[in-house]
Amino acid sequence: MGKRNSPTATSPEYFFAVGDVIRIERIGSQISYKKNGTVYYTSLIPSFGPLLVDLSLWNTGASVSNVKIHSYPNTLSKPASPTGVTSATNSCFQISVDWATTPTATSYQIDLATNNSFTSGLMTYCSSTNSYISTGLNANTTYYYRVRAVNDAGISENSNHVNSTTYSTGCDSQNQWFTSGSSIYYPNTGSVHIGKSNVSTGLEQGYALFVANGIKTEKLKLEIATAGGWADHVFEKKYQLLPIPKLKSFIDKNKHLPGFPSTNKIIENGGYEMGEMLKKQQEAIENLHLYIIQLENKLTVLEQKLESKKGQ
């Protein structure tokens, strides 16, 4: 059982009057203490064996009467042994173990050993789901696993055992994937290449990830590394807007907007930085607004001149 501090004047649950009912009950593996139907303490230690009740009173000469011990049938039985147990090697240092969900099980115990009799290197782990990732293993080593299901009524028999062998090559710990919570990490300073592509691998230097055939996502956020990483400078008073005649001349000659690379240049450089492209596109959009404002000012002047001539 768990422990309680000694009763004090501020602990009313320890004071009893004639007619008060003390109830100590176990449901499953949990023991609770009640006074007149209200729980005032629950043991933190699970109980599976015989329940021994020992009651003592602090008041000299006090007595307890009408003590009754009731045993209620437990309709919950211990779970069946897990089935469908499989294991798979993830790396030189990691193996995944999965199994079918066992009805009535609330958790599972997983045994790991280095022989199939589970007498060598035996370790036991717990999982609240029907899977477990075994980490910190040795390279080129065979590991054996078996699983038990657990609920309040007890622990099942062992499942059939399975085994997997960790990889023996490429086992530099600094180059391995590893998991933490629901995330997966690659700690090396190199890059990750997913899929096949005719793009030269040399063009991926300086980038952490290359994915052939594209990436599909519901959400994409691009961070701006510096304060000058966007196009707000266009609206500064010192900004020189390219006159329309010069803009037209540039487009006629180069077949693209000023400040943007040509198609051939993008292909030659193996692509174009998205952040830089978005910045240039924003700058072009802001230039359009400045051109519109210029036209509006010119139209206003012309309208004023026309009105002036009408008045003559």
What does the DSSP 8-state code read for residue 156? P
The more confidently predicted of residues 12 and 42 is 42
Average pLDDT over residues 32-60: 72
Domains and CATH numbers, the chain: 1-60 (no CATH), 86-180 (2.60.40.10), 191-216 (no CATH), 232-307 (no CATH)
Q: How many helices (H) and strands (E) does the chain have?
A: 3, 15
CB 140 within 8 A of CB 169: no
Q: Is the pTM of this model over 0.75?
A: no
Give the per-residue pLDDT at 87: 95
CA dist 301 and 312 (Å) reads 17
Of all residues in the chain, what percent carry a pLDDT higher than 70?
A: 74
Give the per-residue pLDDT at 189: 63
CA dist 96 and 184 (Å) reads 14
Average pLDDT over residues 63-69: 67
CB 33 within 8 A of CB 70: no
Question: Pairing between strand 107-113 and 142-151?
Answer: antiparallel
Helix (H, G, I), strand (E, B) or coil at 67: coil
CB 147 within 8 A of CB 161: no
Residue 202 has pLDDT above 50, yes or no: no
